[in-house]
C-alpha cells in the first residue's frame, strides 16, 4: 500500500480494489473534473495514443501542464486497468477525506448499495447546488471508479463524509444554524406540503434501494413521501432523490 508513497512515479498501477489507497477516474470528462477540482490528489494521468487527436484530451493536457501534473502516453497501462473501455484518459488519484459543512444543505444516504445510483445522485445534487453528502455505512464504495464514472466526475466537486450510523452523523454537526430533517419514507406526508423554511438549512435523507428507511426515522424531523400511483412498487432511488432535491431547490437557479 505504501509503495506509491515512497516510490511514486515508478509504482505499477493495478486494477482498482477497495482496499487501495488510490483510485482512478476513467474517461476524458471525469478526469478533467479530477484535475480541476482535486489537483493536489492526482498521482498521474495516463493518456492513450488514440486520445491525442481528441479535443478534450488536449484540454486535459493543457490543464495538467498549468498545474504541473505529470502525464504519460501509455496504452499498455490503460489496457491493463480498463481492458474493455478503450478510453482516452485515466487519472490516478490518492483517496482523500472531506468534512461536511454544518451550515450547508446536506443529502444523507443511508446504506446506498448500488455504485451507479450513488454516482448518478452525486451528479444530480451537484447540478442543483448541493455540495455536501453524508453516507451512512455499510454503503457502496464512493471511491470506486464506477461511482466516479456514473457521477461524470461530479464526485470531485462534492464534500462527502462517511458515518457508521445516523446518530454519528447528527453528533458531528455544529449547532450554528437551524437544520430541518426530511426523511423520505412511504408513510411520510406529501412532499408538496413540506415547505422549506427560509433561513434554515436542510438534510434530505434517503434509504437503501431495497429496504428504504426503517421506522426509527419516523421520529426524525418531517418525514415526507413523493406521491405516486401504486402502479409501481416504489420509485428508483436516483429518481426519488432527484425529485426531492429538485423540489427543495426549485426556483433557486432562475436567472
Residue (69 or 154) nearer to its own copies, CB: 154
Q: Is 251 in the site for its own copies (CB under 8 A)?
A: yes
Q: Which three cell numbers stand for residue 12?
A: 505499477
Name the residue with cell 436567472: 255
Please say which residue, 94 or 157, places its beta carbon nearer to its own copies.
Answer: 157
When computed from its CA atoms, the radius of gyration of the chain, rounded to whole angstroms, is: 20
CB closer to its own copies out of 157 and 159: 157
Residues 88-109: b if buried by 16+ CB within 10 A, e if exposed: bbbbbbbeeeeebbeebbbbbb
Residue 111 touches its own copies, criterion: CB under 8 A = no
Let me know: does 249 contact 130? Beta carbons within 8 Å: yes
Beta-carbon contacts of residue 191 (< 8 Å; ≥ 6 apart): 224, 225, 226, 227, 243, 244, 247
Per rule CB under 8 A, count of chain residues that contact its own copies? 32
Helix (H, G, I), strand (E, B) or coil at 55: helix
Measured from the CB atom, the residue of 33 and 74 that comes closer to its own copies is: 33
What are the cell numbers at 213? 428507511
**Residue 11 engages its own copies in binding (rule: CB under 8 A):** no
Give the up-direction half-sphere exposure of residue 194: CA atoms within 13 A in the CB hemisphere. 24
Contact pattern from residue 143 through residue 162 relative to its own copies, giving x for each residue in contact according to CB under 8 A and a dash for the rest: ---------x-x--x-----
Which residue, 11 or 152, is less far from its own copies as judged by CB? 152
Q: Distance from CA of residue 44 to its chain's centroid?
A: 21
- Min dist CB 248 to its own copies, Å, is 12
Stretch that binds its own copies, among 48-56, 64-72, 178-186, 247-255 (CB under 8 A): 247-255
Cis peptide before 9 (omega within 30 of 0): no
What DSSP designation does 164 have? S
SS3 59: helix
Quick note: the x/- pattern for its own copies over 40-79, rule CB under 8 A, is ----------------------------------------
Q: Give the C-alpha separation, 160 to 142, whole Å.
A: 9
Identified binder of its own copies from the candidate list 31, 105, 120, 208, rule CB under 8 A: 120
> Of 8-16, 169-177, 180-188, 232-240, which segment contacts its own copies by CB under 8 A?
232-240
Site string for its own copies, 13-32 (x = CB under 8 A): ----------------x---
The answer to whether the beta carbons of residues 135 and 165 sit under 8 Å apart is no
Q: Which is nearer to its own copies, 11 or 226 (CB)?
A: 226
Which of 5, 66, 103, 192 binds its own copies (CB under 8 A)? It is 192
In the complex, the residues that contact its own copies under the rule CB under 8 A are: 29, 120, 123-124, 126-129, 152, 154, 157, 190, 192, 226-229, 231-233, 235-236, 238-239, 242-243, 246, 250-251, 253-255
Amino acid at each position: 500500500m505504501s509503495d506509491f508513497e515512497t516510490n511514486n512515479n515508478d509504482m505499477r498501477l493495478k486494477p482498482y480494489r477497495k482496499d487501495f489507497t488510490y483510485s482512478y477516474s476513467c474517461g476524458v470528462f471525469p478526469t478533467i473534473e479530477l484535475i480541476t477540482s482535486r489537483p493536489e490528489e492526482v498521482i498521474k494521468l495516463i493518456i492513450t495514443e488514440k486520445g491525442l487527436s481528441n479535443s478534450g484530451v488536449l484540454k486535459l493536457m493543457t490543464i495538467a501542464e498549468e498545474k504541473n501534473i505529470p502525464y504519460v502516453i501509455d496504452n499498455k497501462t490503460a489496457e491493463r486497468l480498463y481492458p474493455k473501455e478503450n478510453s482516452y484518459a485515466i487519472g490516478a488519484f490518492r483517496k482523500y477525506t472531506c468534512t461536511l459543512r454544518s451550515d450547508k444543505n446536506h443529502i444523507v444516504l443511508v446504506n446506498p448499495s448500488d455504485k451507479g445510483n450513488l454516482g448518478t445522485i452525486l451528479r444530480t445534487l451537484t447540478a442543483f447546488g448541493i455540495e455536501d453528502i453524508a453516507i451512512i455505512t455499510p454503503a457502496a464504495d464512493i471511491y470506486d471508479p464506477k461511482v466516479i464514472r456514473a457521477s461524470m466526475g461530479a464526485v470531485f466537486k462534492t464534500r462527502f463524509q462517511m458515518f457508521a450510523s445516523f446518530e454519528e452523523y447528527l453528533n458531528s454537526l455544529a449547532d450554528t444554524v437551524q437544520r430541518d430533517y426530511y426523511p423520505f419514507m412511504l408513510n411520510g406526508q406529501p412532499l408538496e406540503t413540506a415547505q422549506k423554511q427560509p433561513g434554515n438549512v436542510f438534510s434530505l435523507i434517503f434509504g437503501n434501494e431495497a429496504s428504504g428507511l426503517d421506522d426509527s426515522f419516523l421520529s426524525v424531523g418531517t418525514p415526507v413521501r413523493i406521491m405516486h400511483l401504486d402502479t409501481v412498487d416504489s420509485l428508483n432511488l436516483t429518481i426519488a432523490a432527484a425529485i426531492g432535491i429538485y423540489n427543495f431547490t426549485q426556483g433557486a437557479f432562475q436567472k
